[in-house]
Structure 1
Amino acid sequence: MVAASTTVERESITVAGVRKRYGVKLAVEALAGVDLTVAESEFVCLVGPSGCGKSTLLRMIAGIHQPSEGQIALRLPIGNSVATAMVFQDYGIFPWKTVEANVRFGLEVTGTSAKESRDRVGHWLDRMGLTEFRSAYPATLSGGMKQRVSIARALAVEPGVLLMDEPFAALDAQMRRILQDELLALWQEDLRTVVFVTHSLEEAILLGDRVVVMSSRPGRIIADFRVPFARPRSPEVRLDPAFTELEETIWEQLRKEVGDSERKAR
C-alpha cells in the first residue's frame, strides 16, 4: 500500500517490512523485508548487484508496483500536490512531442493553469539549457539532451520526491560526468528529496547524503553509509583521498553480493 498525506509540513519516505514476489506457483522473491526511511530534502542513493530489486523498490515508492507485504508511506510538504516523479534510464520522453511539449506534459496531466505551465516550462527549459531546442523533437537530440528533457519534465511538476532510476547509465563517460555535476548543483539549489538508483559508487558518493547497499536477490538492505562531505559539495570532492577510501569501503561490502548475484544467474 502507498499512502500520501499533505497535512504535515515535514516530508519523508518510510518503507516498512516490504517484500515483493512475482508469480504464484514458481514465485520469485525480489525483495525480502526492506526497511528504509528517507528524511526531508535528503539525497539517498541505492546501490547493489544487478537484479537485487533496486528498481522494483523505486517503482513501489512511486506507486507503479505494490508490495506483496509491508507498507510504503509518503508524507509531502505543504503545497506539494504531486507525490513523486520519475526519471528513467531510457529517458521515457514522447518521440512525437517537441521538447517543450514533453516538459509541459506532466503539468497538463495535473491540471496546472496555462499561465503557471508557461512559467514553469520556461524556467526549466532555461535551467536545463533547453530553450533553443524547445521546438525540436527527441529524434534530433543527443542522449544527454534527452535526459535533460526528462529531468526538466519531472521537476516541472514540483514533486515531493524525485525518483531517478540509473538516469545516466546509457550516456558516455564524458556526458555522464557533466550531468552528474549539473545534478549536484541543481539539487543543492533545490534541496528536493531524491532517491537515486545507480551501479556507480563514485556517482553515489558524489551526489548522495547516504549510500544504501542492497544484497543480491532477494534484496534487503545490508549497509547504510553516511557520506561525510559537507554541503554545498564541489565536483572536485572526487579528488579527496577520503572519497576513494569510502568508495573502497563500500565496494568491500558490495563485492560478495555481486559475486552471489552472478552465481544465482548461472
Structure 2
Amino acid sequence: MEIYQHFREEERPFIDQVLSMQEEVNIRYERKETDFLDPREIFIFTSLMGAQPDLIWDTFGGSEKSERKRAILAPEYEEIDQQDFSLTLLQASYPDKFITLEHRDVLGAFMSLGIKREKLGDLVVQDGTIQIIVAEEISDYIRMNFTSVKKTNVQFEEKSLTHLIASNETWKVNETTLSSLRLDVLVKEIYGISRKKAGMHIDAGHVKVNFRTVENPSFQLQEGDLLSVRGKGRSRLMEIRGMTKKEKFRVTISKLN
C-alpha cells in the first residue's frame, strides 16, 4: 500500500494494527482501544486517522501533558470522554530521606514482573512518591505483585486521576537547522558533543529511539521520535518544519533538563 512509504519498514506491524482496528470498527460498529502508545506511535496513529471521516478518535494518558497515551476509535455517532479510557492511577510512598529512587529503578522493577511496556503509561518518581498510570486490566496484579524497588518495600494503592502529580520534568525547546536527519547528527546537535563521540555512543548500544536500541549512526529520524542516550537523558524530534534555501532541515527539538 502507498501508505507504507511514509513510514519505516519496522513500523509496518503497528500500521497494520491500526488499519485492522479501523476496519473492525467500520464493520462491527464497536469501539476499540489500544495499549499505551509512545510519542512516535501517537504520531503514526494520528496520521492514519486523518482520512477516516466515518470514525472518531481520541488519545488520553491521565492528563493533557501525558507522554504515553491510550487511543480509542469509535463510530462517528459516538462520543469519547476521558473517563472512557481504561486507566488506573497507582501510588506508593518511599522514605526518600534514606533511599534515592529514579525513574529507571521503578521502571526496571515494573518490567521484572513480566508485564509488557505497552501496559504502562507515564511514571513519576519524586518527593518520596511513586505514581504510575497502568492499564486498568492489570491494576490488581500490580498491586499484589509490585511490592519492592531496590530492596525497599512499597505498597501501591489506587487513586483518582485528580491526584495525579504534575511531573517536575522540564523540556528545553530549541529550533535549529540540520544537514541531515541521521541519528548521529541529531545526537551531536542535541547533546552538544562531537559527531565522532555521538557515533561511539551509538556503536556501543547507548542510544535508543522510541525505547529501542539503535546501533546504526545513519538511522533516519522522523517527526515524533523520542531519543535517549545513556547518562545524558532524553530528547525528542518534535517537528520537521521544512527545508532552508541551503537545503538544510528546519526542525524543532527538545531535551529533558
TM-score by length of 2: 0.23
Greater relative contact order (Cα 8 A, min sep 6): structure 1 or 2? 1
TM-score by length of 1: 0.22
Larger helix proportion of the pair: 1
Larger strand proportion of the pair: 2
